[in-house]
Amino acid sequence: MSQVTSGGLRRLVTAAASLAAVASLSGAPTAAYAGGTTETGSPGLRLAPPPVRDEDRAGGGDHLTVTVRHAGGGADGTYELYCHPGGGSHPDVGGACRTAERNTRWGRETFAPAPERSVCTMQYGGPATAHVTGTWAGRPVDATYDRSNGCQIARWNRFVPLLPDLGP
């Protein structure tokens, strides 16, 4: 059995703390334990696999309901969207899932409203509204969209094709 020096123990504890901090960002609890060896045969730190979440089980995954009103051109309606695996009644399942994924950032709410006190251009993008509800990345979603000013139009356009493309 090999002896661990105080410097080696300090590095092991620091590595475990670092891994725990990274794991906490994922939202999934992960256990680290000392033991075994790395590929080079030196003592190493192993990660226990994260538990399987309900939304990761078969038939689970991300599910959004998108309701669009006053968009015209046949875009109005209520659409179901499933991602991971993809499916539903949305007209562009693959594009809509990719758009939601593209807008997902660690530590930020994917469907957050425009920040309060934003300086927005005074342009009007039309009467279209959208309401998105469901679950994304294991978190509940209840977001509304409109095109009442430049900030809201930009927010809407970031989610095309999850939301219909209504132009600039």
Q: What is the CATH number of the domain that holds 134?
A: 3.30.350
| Domain annotation covers residue 140 | yes
Instruction: Say whether both 59 and 40 belong to one domain.
Output: no
Weakest-pLDDT range from 14-28, 84-98, 142-156 = 14-28
Q: How many domains in the chain?
A: 2
| Domain annotation covers residue 167 | no
Instruction: Say whether both 63 and 90 belong to one domain.
Output: yes
Give me the mean pLDDT over the 55-77 stretch. 82
Tell me the CA distances in angstroms from 157 to 29, 36, 58, 164, one per residue in order: 35, 50, 32, 9
Please state, rounded to an integer, the average pLDDT across all residues of the chain: 76
Q: Which residues contact 44 (CB under 8 A, 6 or more apart)?
A: 34, 36, 37, 38
User: Quick one: pLDDT at residue 133?
Assistant: 97
| Domain annotation covers residue 165 | no
Instruction: Say whether both 22 and 96 belong to one domain.
Output: no
User: Quick one: pLDDT at residue 60?
Assistant: 59
pLDDT at 19 over 50: no
The pLDDT tens digits for 71-118 are: 998 999 999 999 999 999 999 999 999 999 999 988 888 999 998 899
CA distance 155 to 166: 12
User: Quick one: pLDDT at residue 160?
Assistant: 97
Asked if 114 contacts 89 with a C-beta cutoff of 8 angstroms, the reply is no
Grade residue 6 by pLDDT with cuts at 50, 70 and 90.
low
Instruction: Say whether both 142 and 110 belong to one domain.
Output: yes
**Helices (H), ranges, the chain:** 6-26, 93-102, 150-158
Instruction: Say whether both 43 and 71 belong to one domain.
Output: no
Q: Is the pTM of this model over 0.95?
A: no
Instruction: Say whether both 109 and 40 belong to one domain.
Output: no
Task: Express as a percent the part of the chain with pLDDT over 70.
Answer: 64
Instruction: Say whether both 104 and 135 belong to one domain.
Output: yes
Q: Give the residue from 120, 118, 126, 121 showing the smallest Cα distance to 147.
A: 126
- Where in the sequence is the domain holding 21, given as residue range(s)? 6-47
Instruction: Say whether both 148 and 73 belong to one domain.
Output: yes
